[in-house]
């Protein structure tokens, strides 16, 4: 029996559990996991069982509500200290995606506006609201995107910024879902996205499940299909966008943007405003998460596939220069890089 019913994360308020789809098992196995254990929540975010910037933000908010509902503390000061400590630890495990910080700060603000009596109820309501808002925001991105892309049919995307990376719809794939609903004949190239294969495993899984024509390509095939004229537009998500529009997203995104510029193909970053970080003036100041080298050398292979003497370098993200970005498709409309500052004001 599915609790999530098509969503990626959820809040089982009856049993006080955070629920998530274990994405490390996809596409071969679909498993929903229910938990109220901090260790399991932390591990889920750290090991990418739950991943994608909006999804980890929502999941962190739900996790905090579940953890605090189980707290035995009665004094307001103790409750807020426990909440702050859980928030700090969850935020530290994925430093690039600003949604994590955004969501935990919203939970802390809800706590600050509470007292010992309504603390738990307010946090539960705040987490449910963050989850509902994510669905509404992604749907809006889909609608604005479908409008601006109405003459495009073939897309290329990198990593997974679809429904598995949010609660429903996703960001970069939201316009694709809306156009598919409108009966348009859409095709999507998914970059496989080394080293963790979010494109090959996850994007192709969710698109084919929705009946959308999907082709998986090796990352190094992206410029080939662009040169052949097979791509009308590139759609990607983001993990943190600086004030000047520089956008951190899965490693390899910047190379895709450079190729798109070369071939005159529009490059859109789909961005909920929860991913916009006006406190960071430009992308050089975005902290890029470094992950374990075994994701490159061993994870997908029966035997290690590089010599033990060789080193690895495994940054999880890169930053695409704002000059390579055609526009940001957001829940408030579609904006050029220079317009972001004004929206923020
Ligand atoms: O390391 P991941 O899989 O969490 O990285 C995810 C991405 O880079 C996504 O493109 C990004 O979070 C946008 S999700 C709508």
Which pLDDT score, from 0 to 100, does residue 343 have? 80
Name the pLDDT band for 292 (thresholds 50, 70, 90).
very high
User: In whole angstroms, what is the distance from residue 167 CA to residue 310 CA?
Assistant: 39
Which pLDDT score, from 0 to 100, does residue 60 have? 98
Residue appearing with tokens 């097979």: 230
Q: What is the pLDDT of residues 142-172, one digit of tens each?
A: 999 999 999 999 999 999 999 999 999 999 9
Among the listed residues 141, 11, 130, 119, the one whose alpha carbon sits nearest the alpha carbon of residue 69 = 119
Q: What is the pLDDT of residues 33-76, one digit of tens each?
A: 999 999 999 999 999 999 999 999 999 999 999 999 999 999 99
Percent of the chain's residues with pLDDT above 90:
98
Q: Quick one: angle between helices 38-46 and 76-92, nearest 10?
A: 30
Residue appearing with tokens 């500052």: 341
Average pLDDT on 199-211 reads: 98
List, as one string, the DSSP characters of 184-208.
---EEEEE--TTTTIIIIIIHHHHH
Average pLDDT on 19-37 reads: 98
Choice from 250, 287, 328, 331 to test ligand 1 binding pocket (greatest atom count within 8 A of CB) = 250
* Catalytic pick among 219, 239, 246, 318: 239
Q: Where does residue 330 rank: exposed (0-12), middle (13-18), buried (19+ CB within 10 A)? A: buried
The answer to whether residue 345 scores a pLDDT higher than 80 is no
Which pLDDT score, from 0 to 100, does residue 1 have? 82
Residue appearing with tokens 């510029």: 261
Q: Answer yes or no: 239 catalytic.
A: yes
Q: What is the pLDDT of residues 96-147, one digit of tens each?
A: 999 999 999 999 999 999 999 999 999 999 999 999 999 999 999 999 999 9
The answer to whether residue 344 scores a pLDDT higher than 90 is no
Average pLDDT on 233-239 reads: 98
Among the listed residues 118, 115, 89, 114, the one whose alpha carbon sits nearest the alpha carbon of residue 104 = 89
Across the chain, what does the average pLDDT equal? 97
Against a cut of 0.85, is the pTM above it? yes
Distance 130 CA to ligand 1 centre (A): 18
Distance 110 CA to ligand 1 centre (A): 27
Average pLDDT on 258-286 reads: 97
């Amino acid at each position: 029996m599915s609790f999530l019913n098509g969503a990626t994360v959820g809040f089982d308020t009856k049993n006080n559990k955070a629920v998530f789809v274990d994405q490390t098992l996809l596409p071969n196995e679909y498993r929903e996991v229910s938990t109220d254990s901090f260790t399991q929540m932390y591990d889920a975010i750290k090991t990418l069982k739950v991943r994608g910037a909006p999804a980890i933000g929502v999941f962190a908010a739900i996790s905090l509500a579940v953890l605090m509902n189980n707290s035995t503390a009665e004094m307001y000061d103790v409750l807020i200290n426990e909440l702050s400590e859980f928030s700090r630890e969850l935020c530290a495990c994925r430093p690039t995606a600003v949604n994590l910080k955004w969501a935990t700060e919203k939970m802390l603000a809800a706590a600050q506006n509470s007292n010992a009596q309504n603390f738990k109820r307010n946090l539960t309501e705040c987490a449910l609201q963050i989850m509902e808002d994510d669905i509404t925001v992604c749907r809006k991105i889909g609608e604005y995107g479908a409008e601006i892309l109405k003459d495009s049919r073939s897309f290329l995307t990198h990593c997974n910024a679809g429904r598995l990376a949010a609660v429903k719809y996703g960001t970069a794939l939201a316009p694709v879902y809306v156009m598919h609903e409108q009966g348009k004949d859409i095709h999507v190239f998914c970059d496989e996205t080394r080293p963790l294969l979010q494109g090959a495993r996850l994007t192709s899984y969710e698109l084919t499940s929705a009946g959308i024509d999907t082709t998986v390509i090796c990352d190094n095939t992206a410029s080939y299909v662009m040169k052949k004229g097979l791509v009308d537009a590139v759609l990607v998500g983001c993990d943190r966008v600086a004030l000047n529009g520089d956008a951190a997203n899965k490693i390899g995104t910047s190379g895709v943007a450079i190729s798109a510029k070369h071939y005159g193909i529009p490059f859109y970053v789909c961005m909920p405003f929860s991913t916009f970080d006006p406190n960071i003036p430009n992308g050089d100041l975005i902290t890029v998460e470094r992950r374990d080298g075994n994701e490159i050398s061993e994870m997908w292979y029966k035997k290690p596939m590089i010599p033990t003497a060789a080193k690895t370098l495994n940054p999880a993200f890169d930053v695409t220069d704002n000059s390579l970005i055609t526009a940001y498709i957001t829940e408030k409309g579609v904006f050029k890089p220079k317009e972001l500052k004004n929206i923020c004001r």
